[in-house]
Amino acid sequence: MSDPRPDQSPDPTRQAFYDRIASSSLTPLWEVLKSLVAKEPKSAAVAHCWRWADVRPFVLEAGSVISAAEAERRVLILENPGLPGQSRITNTLYAGLQLILQGEVARAHRHTQSALRFVVEGSGAYTAVDGERTLMRPGDFVITPSWAWHDHGNETQEPMVWLDGLDIPIVGFFEASFAEGFEAELQTQAKPVGDSQARFGEGLLPLGHVRTNAASPVFNYPYARSREALEKLRRSGPLDACHGLAMRYANPLDGGWAMPTIGTWLHLLPKDFSGAPYRATDATVFSCVEGTGRVYVFAPGGKLESFEFGPRDIFVVPSWQWRRFEATSDCVLFAFSDRPAQEKLGLWREMRGNG
């Protein structure tokens, strides 16, 4: 049913009533019901693409504006143009590009926000999580679980840039943010490099392992391994009409998402793939790893946006907006969204269109 009084302010008698009850901290539901309990998601966020060629110079310039030591984390936030000043890329997720120059460290701290790192440029810098370092290469997906101590360092000769994805807006909504600095700049290395991978990432698990964390104990999912798997699977198919070949990162302890609030996966879109339309309630951030393609996003009101993307470009598709992919060459996309959080709350929905 359409609103019988569209775009009208309330009549004066009602307004006088609203004014009187306002002093008792009361307000009428019927004036706001349709926007509070919307028929379907209407995101204030917009589809947007950050081209690597445009943002890379600014990310590197940040290296001369402030040191990693002074900044604690030297990051340029990818802020959704529809949500200015809110430090978020979607309504529920934060994303940024973190720069760590050769010889620098980003001191140890921990927070209740969970973080993912997706390596964009540079190779061989490390992140240390709970006393274990992992060296990061382009396309690696690395997890910093909630409340885990972490520091980053770059002992290579090149700058390194990675995409940070954090559940900062979710934790903020729940007013559950805690953070603290470590007593020293860096953690001591309590475990050898590769320990988590050997213990949890080889199809084996320690006998009698008692789970203590909601996140995957494998904290680096190297791109080389994922890419090899995708390459094998593309030959045996089948390809999903909307997603191409899509594989999610799994927690080996239970097969669930690798992180409790943020879902992460990869798409392989073969050259000339032309995907069917798809939408879901999880606004999604994509980072192109290899290849080139185009994404079409249908915003409410019939507005059609399209972005051509290539390696290291990052784009975001808001909740419940139709999207479809085309690949102009074999293309790999990394994706993340709040899907695990929505699934746990029974909220997640998806819808497929016809190609």
Sites of contact with ligand GTQ (CB under 6 A): 73, 75, 96, 98, 111, 115, 150, 164, 166
Q: How far is the CB of 107 from ligand GTQ (least distance, A)?
A: 10
Q: How far is the CB of 126 from ligand GTQ (least distance, A)?
A: 13
Q: How far is the CB of 37 from ligand GTQ (least distance, A)?
A: 33
Q: How far is the CB of 260 from ligand GTQ (least distance, A)?
A: 17
Cβ-proximal residues to 158 (8 Å cutoff; 6+ apart), any chain: 102, 122, 123, 124
Which residue in the block uniquely carries the two structure tokens 């101590």? Answer: 149
**Exposed, middle or buried by CB within 10 Å (0-12, 13-18, 19+), for 37?**
exposed
> What is the SS3 assignment for 277?
coil
Q: Give just the sign of the alpha carbon dihedral 295, 299, 302, 303.
A: negative
Q: How far is the CB of 98 from ligand GTQ (least distance, A)?
A: 5
Q: How far is the CB of 102 from ligand GTQ (least distance, A)?
A: 18
Q: What is the DSSP letter of 8?
A: -
- Give the whole-angstrom CA distance, residue 31 versus residue 94: 32
Nearer residue to ligand GTQ within complex by CB, 153 or 260: 153
Q: Where are the alpha helices (DSSP H) in the chain?
A: 12-22, 33-36, 52-65, 68-71, 168-173, 195-200, 223-236, 339-344
Q: For ligand GTQ, which residue has the nearest CB?
A: 164
Nearer residue to ligand GTQ within complex by CB, 49 or 75: 75
Q: Give just the sign of the alpha carbon dihedral 185, 126, 196, 93.
A: positive
Nearer residue to ligand GTQ within complex by CB, 166 or 285: 166
Nearer residue to ligand GTQ within complex by CB, 166 or 341: 166
Whether residue 136 contacts residue 162, with contact meaning beta carbons closer than 8 Å, is answered with yes
Amino acid at 273: F
* Cα 232 from chain centroid (whole Å): 26
- Give the whole-angstrom CA distance, residue 171 versus residue 238: 38
Which residue in the block uniquely carries the two structure tokens 């904290």? Answer: 219
Nearer residue to ligand GTQ within complex by CB, 149 or 322: 149
Q: How far is the CB of 289 from ligand GTQ (least distance, A)?
A: 20
Residue 161: Cβ within 10 Å count: 25
Nearer residue to ligand GTQ within complex by CB, 82 or 153: 153
Q: How far is the CB of 257 from ligand GTQ (least distance, A)?
A: 20
Q: How far is the CB of 20 from ligand GTQ (least distance, A)?
A: 45
Q: Give just the sign of the alpha carbon dihedral 186, 205, 339, 311.
A: positive
- Give the whole-angstrom CA distance, residue 173 versus residue 168: 9
User: What is the maximum alpha-carbon separation in the chain?
Assistant: 73
Nearer residue to ligand GTQ within complex by CB, 151 or 313: 151
Nearer residue to ligand GTQ within complex by CB, 98 or 292: 98
Nearer residue to ligand GTQ within complex by CB, 185 or 272: 185
* Cα 121 from chain centroid (whole Å): 17
